[in-house]
């Protein structure tokens, strides 16, 4: 009976990991990227829509410096940049269940950043993430988790590694280029150092999900001039 139970748990674990676009353990190691097609009408009319300068475009050079600072030197572990709307969403290691929303033009003001985003070293922030997950794993709440999910969480916790600081810098350095592509330019981007992922949407409504370690390869494949 125990062997049967174990087999069922293993099957469920494998199924959960297979069927998610991005699972609890991230992208499959063999995947450089995952593409998701969006609204077909938007894809077909991409080249007919006039392009406008957004609030983000006006402060792009200063903004990418600020975002890099948030991810490496401050409390932020996840950031969403809406290039068309000027909306910046952030998640803080000090308040991980809430999302904060900021205007792009505010994030080029150093005094605003100092008020809104506490300083913390990258290594301390990573350790904080490990502590949070360990706390969940040791909590009474964790007893509610089905066995196959418990196995996934424990394995992930044992092997987890965050995004590297150098990978964050590489992403930031390419941001302006991705936004200024002549046809299929960047509409929004999410960077998460916990999941080690970059999620990008373009004006054609397509979505690309890329692991940080494969981001440079994605750039080389899609923007030849950047080789």
Instruction: State the sign of the Cα–Cα–Cα–Cα dihedral 128, 160, 194, 61.
Output: positive
**C-alpha dihedral, 65 to 66 to 67 to 69, nearest 10°:** 90
Q: What percent of the chain has pLDDT over 70?
A: 75
Whether the pLDDT of residue 36 is over 70: the answer is no
Pairwise CA distance, residues 165 & 173, whole Å: 13
Q: In 142-160, which positions are buried (b, 16+ CB within 10 angstroms) versus exposed (e)?
A: eeeeeebbbbbbeeeeeeb
**Band of the pLDDT at 38, cuts 50, 70, 90?**
very low
pLDDT averaged over the chain? 81
Which pTM was predicted? 0.79
**Band of the pLDDT at 187, cuts 50, 70, 90?**
confident
Pairwise CA distance, residues 223 & 151, whole Å: 40
- pLDDT at residue number 106: 95
- pLDDT at residue number 42: 47
- pLDDT at residue number 223: 67
What residue spans define the domains of the chain? 2-226
User: In terms of pLDDT, which residue wins out, 23 or 215?
Assistant: 215
DSSP β-bridge partners for residue 23: 26
**Band of the pLDDT at 167, cuts 50, 70, 90?**
very high
Whether the pLDDT of residue 74 is over 90: the answer is yes
- pLDDT at residue number 168: 94
- pLDDT at residue number 113: 96
pLDDT digits (tens, 9 = 90+) for 86-136: 999 999 999 999 999 999 999 999 999 999 999 999 999 999 999 999 999
């Amino acid at each position: 009976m125990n062997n049967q139970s174990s087999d069922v748990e293993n099957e469920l674990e494998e199924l959960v990991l297979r069927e998610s676009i991005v699972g609890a353990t991230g992208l499959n190691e063999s995947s450089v990227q995952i593409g998701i097609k969006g609204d077909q009408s938007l894809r077909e009319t991409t080249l007919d829509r006039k392009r406008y300068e957004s609030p983000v475009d006006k402060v792009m050079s200063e903004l990418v410096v600020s975002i890099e600072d948030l991810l490496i030197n401050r409390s932020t572990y996840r950031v969403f940049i809406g290039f068309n709307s000027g909306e910046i969403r952030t998640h803080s290691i000090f308040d991980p269940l809430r999302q904060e929303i900021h205007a792009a033009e505010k994030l080029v003001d150093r005094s605003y950043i100092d008020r809104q985003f506490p300083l913390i070293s990258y290594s301390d922030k990573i350790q904080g993430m490990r502590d949070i997950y360990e706390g969940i794993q040791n909590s009474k709440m964790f007893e509610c988790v089905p066995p196959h999910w418990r196995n996934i969480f424990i394995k992930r916790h044992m092997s987890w590694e965050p995004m590297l600081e150098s990978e964050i810098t590489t992403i930031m350095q390419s941001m302006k280029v991705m936004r200024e592509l002549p046809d299929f330019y960047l509409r929004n981007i999410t960077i998460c150092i916990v999941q080690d992922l970059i999620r990008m949407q373009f004006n054609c409504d397509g979505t690309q999900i890329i692991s940080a370690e494969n981001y440079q390869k994605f750039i080389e494949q899609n923007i030849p001039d950047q080789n």
